[in-house]
Structure 1
Amino acid sequence: MRSTPQNSHETRPPPAAPRGKILMMAVIAGAVITNIYCTQPILPLIQAGLGVELASVNLVAGAALLGFATGLALLLPLGDRVDRRKLVLGQIALAFFFALAACMAPGIWALVAASFGLGIVSCVPQQLVPFAALMSSPGERGRSVGTVVSGIMVGILLGRTVAGVVGDAYGWRAVYAMEAAFMIPVWFTARALLPRGIPTTQLSYARLLASLWPLLRDHRPIRESMLIQSLLWACFNAFWVNLAALLANGPWHLGSSWAGAFGIIGAAGALAATVGGRAADRLGSRTVIGASIVIVTLSWLLMAGAGTSLVLLVIGVIVLDIGVQAALVANQTRAFAADPAAQGRINSLYMTATFIGGALGVAASGWLMERHGWPGVAVFGMVLGAVAGVIHLLGARAQRRSALPLH
């Protein structure tokens, strides 16, 4: 009988974290995620430096996203089994070495491999999202998740800005050297800030991975959130991975620093993650998801004319980021609610699907950009948004039917 309180103590979530700690977790998340997205504005520089085709150099960006998805699938479930703090610190340390390898890569395939490895260990931000959810009261969970996701999105967008400026001034290798150097203070900050993680399961790693399937099978909200967000993330990355080529080869002939500067414009929409989290708490996640799908699809309608209009491009990127970021939080909040004791594994399923969608979006849109130009990419984005809308409507109909009383 004595083991009962001990076991309950071991699985008890940590006390609610002060707001300042959640904000610092958002800063760490934003800093680490730049490892993945610093490549996108410097792709033309890598293409020129290594003498490869556009489709080949896009593999560098795709490998980072695919590596990220692999890390989410294999490392994120461990957050339910081991001390998540140790896991985070180990991944940041490895990110330092992979960024150095990318900096010194002698050719395109070595760079692709280093980018893939860097992607695997840079899933730290998604280790912090369930951390924030568990450290928050139920009424504040959406807000806390939204804060950390806002940090991630600001890191994605502003990281592009810094990478574009540094790449134009010092070359693409300097960007990876900067990322490696940046991981040092990030590691020390995380070590000082993060509390000890408390495991929520005693399953072995093999059984932990095996438990992903029942979660996916038994919870329709998880499946819907995964599929919808993977489509919207493909929309998001289809824009950003082709932006540098659009600006360089379109009527403006602008360099990588200009492509990076669009990160500042897009960062204006990063607050949508926090707003989306609060709206999900108040209005329900499904309402926010539906509105976000409409916003993302509208953004691609605007950007269809971006090949000749910078104004449409600027408006479109703001609208796109608002929709994608609000959906990211709302879908994540909805998925987490399916099983609060399996936050890490749910996040693994959700974010793995999201970044596989992003990687496929990069590959498919790169092929379309090379053969059909920007109009082909715009049509691709609109089709993805429409498919996400259909899935959302079918899910809402199924939910209404399941709620009908039995006769």
Structure 2
Amino acid sequence: MSSLPNSAQTASAPNAPTTASRGKIIMMAIIAGAVITNLYCVQPILPLIAASLAVDQTTVDLVAGSALLGFAFGLALLLPLGDRFDRRKLVLGQIIVAFFFGMAAAISPSIWTLIAAAFGLGVVSCVPQQLVPFAAVMSRPSERGRSVGTVVSGIMVGILLGRTISGFVGDMFGWRAVFAVEAAFMIPVWIAAAMLLPKGVPSTNLSYGRLLASLWPLMRDNRPIRESMIIQALLWACFNAFWVNLAALLADGPMHLGSAWAGAFGIIGAAGALAATFGGRASDKLGPRSVIGASIGIVTLSFLLLAGAESSLICLVIGVIVLDIGVQAGLVSNQTRAFAVDPKAQGRINSLYMTATFFGGAVGTIISGWLMARLGWEGIVAFGILLGLIALAIHWIGAPRHAEKPATPGA
């Protein structure tokens, strides 16, 4: 049983919460995708930054790693506030601060100031994960997986297309222009969010300190949350280990392709973004655990395909699509499984889940940079396969005695 705040501590949820229209959910997905580009725009331009600031591969990978680490900190410290305060105000405030950190990154004079700016930008770019609980709470239980999947699809499309845009902008105007464009883009995003996001309804009156203190028992007493956190952290480490080193593979390998090509692979990867929506629907019908197991297998398979990426563009393209399908389906099915624990603790559950996910991504980014510098692409492939096998072992060892039913958090 979950050790959650009792009824004297937790404010009652609205008697009849507003059900968001499909158009509102789609708009949340667009806003989420637009903000998340702050986090991933740096990956295709890492070789440009390394050349400009005269640093090596391991050091420049810290820029991408610090952004993901900052995102994990933001998820841990800011996301629980969504259960206590109006999420709409939190979202608007973070977008404003993201503008200033983007400009700071654009004018950074050294690699270390850029790393610091990237970390700050990562902290306030957790806006998309403020929107996922919106979608979950404002959807009927039978459509919750679909709504979460739609917003997650928006996030994934933003990640992948953001890489595409930054690769081309970086190739034409330099890496500083990428951060300047990202900062400028936050202005129309803020306007759209201010006009379209509904007012958030707090679900608890706990103080901030007690909100953070409630995270530990929430994780400790609920195995579905723990397993979702660990498995998705491993899958996200796989995802980032590939994408953060793709530009180096293309530039330094036999293909000798620039950052624009690295960014263009975002378009290929975006083809798999629909897997998040399908993963959400499958979770509603089959139960999230079944989808999670399939996702782990698909991610592991993708790295077997990517083993030939150095010499075969076909293997690289197919591997990208398969990887993104597996990771995205896993992201939404793990998230749906975790959300099913308690509909009144969506912000805190999401904080635990996404903090673990992006901490895994940050660790995967940093370790894979070291592996790429010393072992080359073979090290990245071995790393991805190993993480997939560990995730598969955790998934099957933790199998319940009775099959989990499809997630219906409001039931």
TM range (shorter): over 0.9
Select which of 21, 26, 30 maps to 2:24: 21
How far 1:10 moved relative to its partner? Answer: 6.0
Select which of 44, 51, 66 maps to 2:54: 51
Q: Does 1:108 align with 2:118?
A: no
Q: Is the partner of 1:75 in helix, strand or coil?
A: helix
Q: Is the 8 A contact 2:11 2:203 kept in 1?
A: no
1: CA distance, partners of 2:140 / 2:384: 37
- Matched residue count: 397
1: CA distance, partners of 2:92 / 2:404: 44
- CA offsets, 1:137-174, max 9 Å, x none? 00000000000000000000000000000000000000
Select which of 77, 81, 90 maps to 1:78: 81
* Within-5 A mapping of 1:226-305: 226-305=229-308
1: CA distance, partners of 2:257 / 2:249: 9
Pair 13,154 (structure 1): closer, same or farther in 2 beyond 3 Å: farther
What corresponds to 1:376 in structure 2? 379
2: CA distance, partners of 1:290 / 1:117: 35
Pair 190,401 (structure 1): closer, same or farther in 2 beyond 3 Å: closer
Select which of 323, 326, 332 maps to 1:323: 326
What corresponds to 1:362 in structure 2? 365
How far 1:12 moved relative to its partner? Answer: 4.2
1: CA distance, partners of 2:45 / 2:313: 20
* Within-5 A mapping of 1:186-201: 186-201=189-204
Identity score, percent: 74
Select which of 124, 147, 151 maps to 1:148: 151
2: CA distance, partners of 1:105 / 1:115: 10
Q: Is the 8 A contact 2:161 2:267 kept in 1?
A: yes
Q: Where does structure 2 lack aligned partners over 5 or more consecutive residues? A: 1-6, 406-411
What corresponds to 2:181 in structure 1? 178
Q: Does 1:336 align with 2:339?
A: yes
What corresponds to 2:3 in structure 1? none
Paired AA for residue 91 in structure 1: Q
Q: Is the 8 A contact 2:11 2:204 kept in 1?
A: no
2: CA distance, partners of 1:8 / 1:316: 47
Pair 29,377 (structure 1): closer, same or farther in 2 beyond 3 Å: same
What corresponds to 1:87 in structure 2? 90
TM-score by length of 1: 0.96
TM-score by length of 2: 0.95
Select which of 216, 221, 224 maps to 2:219: 216
- CA offsets, 1:246-273, max 9 Å, x none? 0000111000000000000000000000
Q: Does 1:205 align with 2:204?
A: no
- CA offsets, 1:84-137, max 9 Å, x none? 000000000000000000000000000000000000000000000011000000
What corresponds to 2:408 in structure 1? none
Q: Is the 8 A contact 1:95 1:122 kept in 2?
A: yes
What corresponds to 2:352 in structure 1? 349
What corresponds to 2:37 in structure 1? 34
Select which of 377, 396, 399 maps to 1:393: 396
Paired AA for residue 158 in structure 1: L
How far 1:399 moved relative to its partner? Answer: 3.8
2: CA distance, partners of 1:320 / 1:363: 19
What corresponds to 1:136 in structure 2? 139
Pair 283,402 (structure 1): closer, same or farther in 2 beyond 3 Å: closer
Let me know the Cα RMSD of the aligned residues.
1.5
Paired AA for residue 112 in structure 1: I
Q: More helix per residue: 1 or 2?
A: 1
1: CA distance, partners of 2:129 / 2:263: 24
Q: Is the 8 A contact 2:69 2:119 kept in 1?
A: yes
Q: Where does structure 1 lack aligned partners over 5 or more consecutive residues? A: none
Paired AA for residue 210 in structure 2: R
Pair 399,39 (structure 1): closer, same or farther in 2 beyond 3 Å: farther
Pair 188,306 (structure 1): closer, same or farther in 2 beyond 3 Å: same
